């Protein structure tokens, strides 16, 4: 009877150990797959394209990191979060999007008259405006003073790319972020999205 109890306890411990080690093995396989996918994504570049609506867009694959990896590899992201009052442990995702705006302006120059040191002087002024850019200012002698403002709407869309097998889509191959810039004068210069596990 005692021998049966000892055998039962040993068998239960053996099953628990096998279960625990199997779980650890599954976690290590998932972590290895994540790291190899991150290595592949770090070697790929941002893809730039135009949407069917004619807007500039970019597509970038998502890096998946653990919190300690984020702190080590991207300290700037952690610093930016701390500056915003967010603790590093609470970060779930981090994105960076850079744009460049370039506008070719052609507008008539108007003469304006001002009194400067008790004499009348002429200013050359411009006032250019479209849906995305405003340029207002005057040139006095050899100096231009004015205001240049550019407006943009950036739309980041996070989506998943499914695995395919014989025309059947299943699971997730990887995550991808598409970024759309609504300003026709702007181009997306870089993009990065990091998901935190």
Domain boundaries, the chain: 1-43, 45-101+152-196, 110-150
Categorize the per-residue pLDDT at 31 as very low, low, confident or very high, splitting at 50, 70 and 90: low
Q: What are phi and psi of 32, to 5 degrees?
A: -65, -40
**91-124 residue pLDDT tens:** 777 888 888 887 776 666 666 666 666 777 667 7
CA-CA distances (angstroms) from residue 52 to 57, 158, 196?
10, 18, 32
What is the arithmetic mean of pLDDT over 116-141? 78
**13-23 residue pLDDT tens:** 888 887 877 77
**145-174 residue pLDDT tens:** 888 888 888 888 877 777 787 877 777 777
pLDDT at position 41: 58
Write down the pTM of the prediction.
Answer: 0.60
pLDDT at position 148: 85
Sign of CA dihedral 167, 171, 176, 178: positive
Which of 2, 177, 9, 22 is CA-nearest to residue 93?
Answer: 177
Q: How far apart are alpha carbons 167 and 106 in whole angstroms?
A: 53
The whole-chain average pLDDT of the chain stands at 77
Structure tokens at 155: 């739309």
Share of the chain above pLDDT 70, in %: 81
**116-128 residue pLDDT tens:** 667 776 677 888 8
Q: What are phi and psi of 196, to 5 degrees?
A: -105, 130
Structure tokens at 35: 């790291």
What is the arithmetic mean of pLDDT over 65-84? 81
pLDDT at position 124: 79
């Amino acid at each position: 009877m005692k021998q049966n109890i000892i055998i039962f306890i040993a068998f239960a411990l053996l099953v628990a150990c096998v279960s625990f080690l199997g779980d650890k093995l599954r976690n290590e396989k998932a972590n290895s797959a994540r790291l190899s996918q991150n290595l592949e994504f770090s070697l790929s570049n941002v893809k730039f394209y135009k949407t069917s609506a004619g807007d500039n867009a970019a597509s970038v694959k998502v890096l998946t990191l653990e919190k300690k990896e984020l702190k080590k590899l991207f300290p700037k992201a952690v610093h930016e979060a701390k500056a915003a009052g967010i603790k590093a442990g609470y970060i779930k995702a981090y994105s960076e999007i850079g744009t460049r705006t370039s506008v070719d302006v052609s507008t008539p120059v108007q003469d304006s008259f001002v009194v400067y040191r008790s004499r009348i002087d002429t200013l050359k002024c411009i006032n250019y405006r479209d849906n995305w850019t405003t340029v207002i200012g005057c040139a006095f002698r050899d100096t231009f003073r004015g205001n240049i403002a550019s407006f943009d709407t950036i739309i980041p869309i996070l989506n998943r790319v499914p695995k395919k097998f014989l025309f059947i889509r299943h699971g997730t191959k990887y995550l991808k972020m598409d970024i759309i810039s609504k300003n026709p004068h702007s181009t997306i210069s870089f993009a990065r999205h990091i998901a935190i596990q």
